[in-house]
Amino acid sequence: MSDDKKVIFSGIQPSGFLTLGNYLGALNNWTKLQDEYNCLYCIMDLHTITVRQDPAKFRKAERELIMQYIASGLDPEQNIMYYQSHVSQHAELSWILGCYIYMGELQRMTQFKEKSQKHSDNINAGLFTYPVLMAADILLYQTDLVPVGEDQRQHLELAREVASRFNKLYGDVFKIPEAYISKVGARVMALQDPSKKMSKSDENKNNTIAIMDPPEVIMSKFKKAVTDSDNEVRYSDDKPGVSNLLNIYCAVTGSTTAEAEREFDGFGYGDFKKSVGEAVVAKLEPVQKKFMELQNNKDYIDSIIKNNTEKARHLADRTLSRVQKKIGFMPRV
């Protein structure tokens, strides 16, 4: 990692095949950062088990996620991409930070409230302490910038708070991370219900486009996407379905909303949805092709995992050793 570049940390949970939402909201933006920043892209498997996973499916999703990172254009030589569970310093720092974060702070986290409603049969302690682990993830790498969606902002604030608290007690140990606001922000909504975001764990598969969906499946899902009754392709808060499709179109083609509205002036919804589907198919085609190639190259993927894990462990250990020393833990012999 070069010393003169800022550090960016982010990650995705291996909770299923990535959606167009993950691609446009995260991966596609990450590929634009790799020259300018030192980037770490973690596969957040410790976070994933806050919701029960089927072990075989989980392992497959883990394996496929690193391939989806690379297929989307992330260079494994330039970026550090690794599994959270392979770098034990995440869990170790999480325990320590948990002793510097108060119950009341965690109780205020809105994502915990939402997730405990959604998974009311399994409100485990991990779901509650999720933001502590997230603080450890970020602070371990002396991260400058964290690309976050609105839903993670509160967690990032907590990470900043605990970093400052720790620094006040022990001196400058952690860098205080900032949110990175992407220039192209695309929040992709569910195709059948544009009031909620597109999520890989959505049970209604017509709500989501998986980045590996075959072209005919993508076209058919767009054909079924919800619009409205006035047959006018225009961006507006009272037209959430059409606006979501316009957003998707703009994110994959690079057009502005005004340009897209002009392009679709006079189009019926059927033709509009067909054009959006075709643009998405064209954007995903090279990603899918690369993924297929990687599937046949197990040794290459294994070597990437090994090299990148070593790099991540080395950086993580630098911070963790410092923290342990400051606290007064017995030095390692």
Query: Rounded distance, CA 139 to CA 184, Å?
Result: 26
Can residue 198 be called a binding residue for ligand AQP (CB under 6 A)? yes
Out of 90, 160, 197, 273, the only residue in the binding site for ligand AQP (CB under 6 A) is 197
Shortest Å distance, C-beta 201 to ligand AQP = 3
- Contacts of 156 by beta carbon, 8 Å cutoff, 6+ apart: 138, 146, 148, 177, 179
Please indicate whether residue 223 is annotated as part of the active site.
Answer: no
Out of 88, 164, 201, 231, the only residue in the binding site for ligand AQP (CB under 6 A) is 201
- Contacts of 190 by beta carbon, 8 Å cutoff, 6+ apart: 196, 197, 198, 199, 202, 204, 207, 208
Nearest residue (CB) to ligand AQP, 140 versus 156: 156
Out of 6, 86, 165, 187, the only residue in the binding site for ligand AQP (CB under 6 A) is 187
Which range, of 86-94, 98-106, 193-201, 223-231, touches ligand AQP by CB under 6 A? 193-201
Which range, of 21-29, 35-43, 134-142, 282-290, touches ligand AQP by CB under 6 A? 21-29
Shortest Å distance, C-beta 277 to ligand AQP = 17
Nearest residue (CB) to ligand AQP, 111 versus 307: 111
Can residue 19 be called a binding residue for ligand AQP (CB under 6 A)? yes
Query: Rounded distance, CA 311 to CA 301, Å?
Result: 16
Q: Which of 196, 200, 239, 298 is catalytic?
A: 200
DSSP state of 189: B
Nearest residue (CB) to ligand AQP, 24 versus 101: 24
Can you tell me which residue has the tokens 């090994």? 306
Nearest residue (CB) to ligand AQP, 151 versus 302: 151
Alpha carbon distance, N-terminus to C-terminus of the chain? 28
Please indicate whether residue 115 is annotated as part of the active site.
Answer: yes
Q: Which of 6, 57, 60, 115 is catalytic?
A: 115
From residue 146, alpha-carbon distances to 107, 152, 330 in Å are 23, 10, 32
Which range, of 87-95, 119-127, 183-191, 262-270, touches ligand AQP by CB under 6 A? 183-191
Query: Rounded distance, CA 226 to CA 241, Å?
Result: 6
From residue 312, alpha-carbon distances to 2, 81, 103, 307 in Å are 14, 8, 30, 9
From residue 90, alpha-carbon distances to 164, 181, 204, 263, 320 in Å are 19, 25, 34, 48, 9
Please indicate whether residue 221 is annotated as part of the active site.
Answer: no
Out of 73, 126, 149, 215, the only residue in the binding site for ligand AQP (CB under 6 A) is 149
Residues 42-61 that bind ligand AQP (CB under 6 A): 44
Structure tokens at 202: 């959505």
Out of 8, 9, 22, 155, the only residue in the binding site for ligand AQP (CB under 6 A) is 22
Q: Could you count the other beta carbons within 10 Å of the beta carbon of residue 154?
A: 16
Which range, of 15-23, 76-84, 126-134, 308-316, touches ligand AQP by CB under 6 A? 15-23
Structure tokens at 236: 């507006």
Shortest Å distance, C-beta 47 to ligand AQP = 7
Query: Rounded distance, CA 244 to CA 100, Å?
Result: 41
Can residue 13 be called a binding residue for ligand AQP (CB under 6 A)? yes
Query: Rounded distance, CA 303 to CA 84, Å?
Result: 17
Can residue 12 be called a binding residue for ligand AQP (CB under 6 A)? yes
Structure tokens at 34: 């790799």
Q: Could you count the other beta carbons within 10 Å of the beta carbon of residue 214?
A: 12
Vertex 225 angle, CA 279 and 147, to 5°: 65
Shortest Å distance, C-beta 109 to ligand AQP = 14
Shortest Å distance, C-beta 29 to ligand AQP = 9
List interacting residues with ligand AQP (CB under 6 A): 12-13, 15, 19, 21-22, 25-26, 44, 149, 186-188, 197-201
Residues marked active site are found at: 115, 197, 200
